[in-house]
């Protein structure tokens, strides 16, 4: 692998002579520890944007498109054509910039079909009006497990990867897989499963399916929490995860992993932006409609998640 690093942007060049090997550019967001991606077919310069971030300051309520603009700058500078704007799941730690990017470039949006189940769950928690659609129509395409589509000449396979959320999916693009919040870097482990709809047993099985991919498959994670204060990182391989993931080394079978995850998750506070983000993200990144004074307002349910740890 060859890397070009500038600040917290890293461009991973495809291996010379490798077949079906996309060019992957990762952009690390300091505020949310999130990674957004541009994945490009080198032969056609056609690309997809994955998990774009809409910047949000919870203290002031201000939004910004700075992070999303970095993706557009990269696309323009490299002469790429965006074919897809993709979500891996409805995020609980940042607002999605999917709709902003679609307004800017017109590419279709997509997510996994199980987002409908997440919409049903959170519509009740937020007490959203009957007019709020829970059919996934906020995206242009809902992908099923095992479905295939293309980015340029690259084949993409969709793997339903529940556990962290009901709707999580993995995009396998040639020799690269975008595993969202299922696996983190080996020194940080695996995703939590205590959000509504999460399940540690499902996560174990999703991880095993990902680790059954070829050993050299490059895995790109959705977050990096920088243990020990190291530099941000978001790429590993199936082989590295099999032998080095700290949670999988501690819990070697399904039952042990479920016990480990349940005990650990009970001690974790919820992400600070969770209740802000999900009402936007289950709507496909659409912000709430302006009210009579022209301002938009988020809605926070009080005492809806009373078992969450405080910190």
The pLDDT tens digits for 76-97 are 999 999 999 999 999 999 999 9
Q: Give the pLDDT confidence score for residue 7 in this predicted structure.
A: 41
Q: Give the pLDDT confidence score for residue 8 in this predicted structure.
A: 62
Per-residue confidence band for 9, with pLDDT thresholds at 50, 70 and 90: low
Per-residue confidence band for 73, with pLDDT thresholds at 50, 70 and 90: very high
CA distance 57 to 296: 14
In the CATH hierarchy, which fold is given to the domain comprising 2-281? Metallo-beta-lactamase; Chain A (3.60.15)
Q: Give the pLDDT confidence score for residue 12 in this predicted structure.
A: 64
Q: Give the pLDDT confidence score for residue 305 in this predicted structure.
A: 87
Query: What whole-number percentage of the chain has pLDDT above 70?
Result: 94
Q: Give the pLDDT confidence score for residue 2 in this predicted structure.
A: 36
The pLDDT tens digits for 271-294 are 999 999 999 999 999 999 999 999
Closest to 168 in 3D by CA, of 202, 138, 140: 202
Count Cα neighbours of 93 within 13 Å in the Cβ-side half-sphere.
23
Residue whose tokens read 């965006």:
82
- Would you say residue 58 has pLDDT above 60? yes
Q: Residue 256: which residues within 8 A CB-CB, separation 6 or more?
A: none
CB atoms within 10 A of CB 306: 6
Work out the average pLDDT over 53-61. 96
Work out the average pLDDT over 214-242. 97
93-to-1, 61, 78, 272 alpha-carbon distances in Å = 30, 15, 29, 7
Q: Give the pLDDT confidence score for residue 70 in this predicted structure.
A: 97
Q: Residue 165: which residues within 8 A CB-CB, separation 6 or more?
A: 89, 90, 92, 118, 181, 195, 197, 198
The pLDDT tens digits for 207-227 are 999 999 999 999 999 999 999
Q: Give the pLDDT confidence score for residue 95 in this predicted structure.
A: 97
Q: Are 279 and 288 in contact (CB under 8 A)?
A: yes
180-to-54, 224, 263 alpha-carbon distances in Å = 17, 11, 22
- Would you say residue 202 has pLDDT above 90? yes
CA distance 76 to 110: 22
Return the ∠ at Cα 89 (arms to 85 and 90), rounded to 5°. 100
Q: Give the pLDDT confidence score for residue 14 in this predicted structure.
A: 54
Work out the average pLDDT over 182-188. 97
Query: Domains of the chain: which residue ranges?
Result: 2-281
Query: What whole-number percentage of the chain has pLDDT above 90?
Result: 90
209-to-145, 170, 204, 206 alpha-carbon distances in Å = 12, 10, 9, 5
CA distance 14 to 72: 21
Mean pLDDT of the chain: 93
Work out the average pLDDT over 163-189. 97
Work out the average pLDDT over 7-35. 77
CA distance 172 to 179: 8
The pLDDT tens digits for 97-156 are 999 999 999 999 999 999 999 999 999 999 999 999 999 999 999 999 999 999 999 999
- Would you say residue 23 has pLDDT above 80? yes
């Amino acid at each position: 692998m060859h890397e070009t690093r500038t600040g917290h942007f890293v461009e991973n060049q495809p291996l010379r002579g490798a077949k079906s090997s996309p060019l992957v550019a990762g952009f690390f967001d300091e505020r949310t520890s999130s990674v957004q991606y541009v994945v490009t077919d080198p032969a056609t310069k056609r690309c997809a944007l994955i998990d774009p971030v809409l910047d949000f300051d919870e203290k002031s309520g201000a939004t910004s498109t700075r992070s999303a603009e970095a993706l557009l700058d990269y696309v323009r500078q490299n002469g790429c054509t965006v074919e897809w704007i993709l979500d891996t799941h409805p995020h609980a730690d940042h607002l999605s910039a999917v709709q902003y990017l679609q307004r800017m470039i017109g590419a279709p949006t997509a997510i996994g079909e199980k987002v409908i189940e997440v919409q049903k769950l959170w519509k009740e928690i937020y007490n959203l009006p009957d007019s709020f659609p829970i059919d996934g129509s906020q995206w242009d395409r809902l992908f099923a497990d095992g479905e295939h589509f293309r980015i340029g000449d690259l084949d993409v396979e969709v793997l339903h990867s529940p556990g962290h959320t009901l709707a999580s999916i993995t995009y396998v693009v040639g020799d690269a897989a975008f595993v969202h919040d299922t696996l983190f870097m080996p020194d940080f482990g695996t995703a939590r499963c205590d959000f509504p709809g999460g399940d540690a047993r499902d996560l174990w099985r999703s991880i095993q399916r990902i680790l059954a991919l070829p050993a050299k498959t490059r895995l790109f994670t959705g977050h990096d929490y920088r243990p020990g204060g190291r530099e941000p990182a978001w790429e590993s391989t199936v082989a590295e995860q099999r032998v080095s993931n700290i949670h999988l080394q501690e819990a070697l079978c399904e039952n042990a992993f479920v016990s480990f995850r349940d005990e650990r998750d009970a001690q974790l506070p919820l992400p600070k932006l969770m209740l802000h983000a999900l009402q936007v993200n289950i709507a496909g990144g659409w912000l709430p409609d302006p009210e009579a004074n022209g301002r938009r307002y988020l809605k926070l349910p009080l005492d809806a998640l009373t078992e969450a740890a405080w910190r």
